[in-house]
Structure 1
Amino acid sequence: MELDEMARAAAISPDGKLVAIGYGGELGRGKKKVNKIGWIGFYELSSTNTIFEHQASNAAISEVKFSASGSMAAFGSHDAKIYLYKLDKASSPPAISKFEVFDAHRSYITHIDFSSDDKYLQSNCGGYELLFCDTQTGKQIKSAKMLKDVMWDSWTCALGWPVQGIWPEFADGTDINSVCASASRTLITTGDDSSCVKVFRYPCLTKGAKFIQGKGHSSHVTNVRFTRDDKYIISIGGNDRTTMQWKLSD
């Protein structure tokens, strides 16, 4: 799928039929102007046909995530808000509508995860916050203790109880750009500013926890994800503009 605008966030629906994209970002001086800042779009993956496009925000979209059932999608923006959209799968293609906005963060959104039952959302921001949201109301849940037994559909947040040990000594909060727990919840991988892809045991609770690492990128690593079968890790480089595949040994 070829885009005519800058996009920094994308996600594929659980059934593999849709791709959601968040638009916007900084190109630098003297380069083509970005027209779709803050726009979001849903597209059929097979045909790339547009299902729904909408300007959610006046700031760039930095994160997007589908819920476990595929009936919701969340878009995190540089305006510090998370925009929630509903997908009515009774029709084909699904009817899509905006229904809630979570606005408790103080800085741009960096990471989002849904709970396995779609009821809750956890998120990080550039202000190093870990906040929780009721997806049905868009309201903040201020007690983390209330959600201590919640099962999360994914874990991509860089802050939280099970990822305390991933941070290197003297880290300033921006060193780790991306996190992803394996589907089996036995491993967690990180991508950082030192061009490293690291793998820890999950949960990772101990400061200075042991890890294995791969080096191949010549620039900072912007994103890492496990494949669904947990056999590979896919990493994205920043300035080197490369996608790498890493095989995990048995």
Structure 2
Amino acid sequence: MQPVISRARLDRAQSDDGYTVSAEFYDILQARQDETRVRDLYGRDVAGACLGVLDIGAGTGRVTMMSLARSGVRVHAVEPARAMRAPLMTRLSALPAARLARVTVHPRPLDEAELRKVADVAVCHNMIACLAPADRRALWPAVARALVPGGSLLLDLPPARLPRREIVRFYPEQRVGAHVYGGRLIMAADRSRIRARFEYWVRERQRVLREHTETFWMWPASRAELTGALAEHGFAPMPGRDDPAVLAMTLTAR
């Protein structure tokens, strides 16, 4: 018998909250650098997982793929954006059956996924900055529910403050056959938020074939602010972890 799913629930689960432009360019422009960064920041913790790994904001799958390769536990990949899930699912489909059986993709935010004590390691990579304050407040208790006592939460820190001037970051261009893909990120303060504008292009020789833009909002938060917010939900800083790029917290017995 086929399960009955209401149209409202189906539409909500399949809604796409952005990334329709960036999904095409993300892997080709950032994959190599991000793959190395993910391995360096979280690889040791993931390799020590005994129960499961929770990848919050899985995107196209860098943390998920690393977790499947470095551990033998179940992996829960949480990715609400359909545009980002598409390359994630394509990447997963190429895996051997044994690894594929260990990963579950959840197409909704963590606070709606109803995960309970499924992991002892949780990773939030490249996503906390893009959560508005209210969404962050909803995330922390959901992470606490999904982890077992003593579990670890690792997240790369968002900007601690608003930028004083416009910041422009270019991504190294990548050749794909006759075409060259490029992009840049422009960040600037906009009241209490950071406007992050991505500009992409595809060219052949000196002729531009396509140009696209996509804008996201980011909210700054200091390490102290995040540590205090997580403490309200039973988290404490992990001793001996002073990496300036990563906040490492552990869920105390509850």
Instruction: Establish whether TM, by shorter chain, passes 0.5.
Output: no
- Which structure is higher in RCO with an 8 Å CA cutoff and minimum separation 6? 2
- If the length of structure 1 is used for normalisation, what is the TM-score? 0.28
Which has the larger Rg? 2
- More strand per residue: 1
- If the length of structure 2 is used for normalisation, what is the TM-score? 0.28
- More helix per residue: 2
